[in-house]
Chains A and B, each alone.
Chain A
Amino acid sequence: MILSLYGAWQKNCGGAFPPKFKAPRQVWVSNMDTVEEEKLGLIDLHPEVFAERPRVDIIHENVRWQQLYRHVSYANTKMRYEVRGGGKKPRQQKGSGRSRHGSIRSPIWRGGGIVHGPRSPTPYFYMLGFNTRLNGLRSTLSAKLAQDDLHIVDSLDIPTDDPSYLEKLVEERGWGPAVLFVDDNDIMPLNITAASDSHGHYNLMPVYGLNVYSMLKHHTLVLTLAAVERLEERLLFHLNRNDAASAGQKYRLDSV
């Protein structure tokens, strides 16, 4: 069977697609029922999503953003008014022959306050632009597909909840040590949830949680058919919409 997502393409891109120059990428659909891989059919992947030139700089920006936006630095130094003491003038202004000072905790003194030191808590929150994040997803998905690290399965239903089943399956198929399973639904089937629970390197994720950092952290990315359809529909919608400016107005941080 050759599955086509042409319906989703047409709905989101007013008839201009599939694009004429970049050919759709054809990928096998496998099963999860048996340890050995059974190819169920072929599927066409949209080249705008899965065959984009991977922009390494955009991928780097995304990874940096994901790590940094939640980072809070708790390093702290005391300023001159916070250091204990230093309220009294050490000696009178004139007469002693020594240099003049107002406080023993001024920054030029040993043990005095730090002028431009770290001040706790310092947030490093910032929002990467929408299109940068969008193109980060496109670049990473394209890179994963190009490097044979992307696999498509029909669904995440496995016969047993035995953790060793997943181990054997991943070993047999040559999938990487760490595998990220992505499905459209956020409530996953019971068996795969139980089987992957004890393994920290097999992770389940809904499509709305897909991000560049996780895709790079896991060696292999396994998408279900439903996840692929949803991904393509969402990404193509954002690539072809004309009301992005007005829709994104409420999320702008620097304007009221």
Chain B
Amino acid sequence: MASVAARSFVFRQQMNTRRFDFASCLNIKSFYSSYSANPKEKSPENYTQYHEVSSDNWKFVERLKPPTVVPSFPKNGSCFSDWTPPPDTPPNLPYFVKRTKNFMVPVYLNFEAVRNQRKITMVKHIEGDIWALEKAIKSHLEEVTKRQVVSQVHEVAMYIKFRGDYVLHVKKWLLNAGF
């Protein structure tokens, strides 16, 4: 016990010397509970100088911020990726597949785990006659892959699911159809 106390006393002495160096640079601000207890504001020469900058400079800050909305795509000019812009007029079909907010074709690959994981191709943002669209895509897929394709039509949420990974086939078909 005594040795521990002695050791801690020595340690505190060492700490004290070090702490004294800290105290000069540390200026901990205390917040009191009432207005009258708080130190009052001094005249301006006690504080650091500042100068106001014109509000025109805000544009330098704004241009650094990323845009929250995808900006419009250039109307003319080729894109060096696979992406093609949506056409100006919709095709003359009883259904329509709208592009997403990022102008992408709304075909997704889901992995629905029913014991053995299943790949599901999902087409969203469908408007109009969903059954006609399903028939058209299904016949195209069966022609291309030469096997039976199982599909699900959800009329309330307006999506179609195909069992299998046909994302590229469906995307190509939609782009050719003019969506």
Contact = CB atoms under 8 A, between A and B. Distances in A.
Interface in B79-94: 86, 88-90
Nearest to A12: B69
Main secondary structure of the interface of A (DSSP, over half): loop
B158 A21 contact: no
A254 interface: no
Interface string B78-117: 0000000010111000001011011100000000000000
A15 B72 contact: yes
Among A20, A22, A243, the most chain B Cβ lie within 10 Å of the Cβ of: A20
23 contacts: A12-B69, A13-B69, A14-B71, A15-B73, A16-B86, A16-B103, A19-B98, A20-B86, A20-B90, A21-B90, A21-B96, A21-B98, A21-B128, A53-B158, A55-B156, A55-B157, A237-B68, A237-B69, A240-B101, A241-B68, A242-B70, A242-B102, A243-B68
B44 interface: no
Contacts of A55: 156-157
B126 to A, nearest CB: 10
Interface of B: 66, 68-73, 86, 88-90, 96, 98-99, 101-103, 127-128, 156-158
A57 interface: yes
A22 B101 CA distance: 15
Contacts of A239: 101
A55 B6 CA distance: 76
Interface in A3-62: 12-16, 19-22, 53, 55, 57
B71 A16 contact: no
Among B68, B72, B102, the most chain A Cβ lie within 10 Å of the Cβ of: B68
Contacts of A13: 69, 101
Interface in A209-256: 237, 239-243
Contact of A16 (B68, B72, B128): B72
A237 B89 CA distance: 24
A243 B70 CA distance: 10
Contacts of A12: 69
A21 B127 contact: yes
A53 B73 CA distance: 28
Given A13-B101, A242-B101, A242-B102, A20 B89 contact: yes
A47 to B, nearest CB: 10
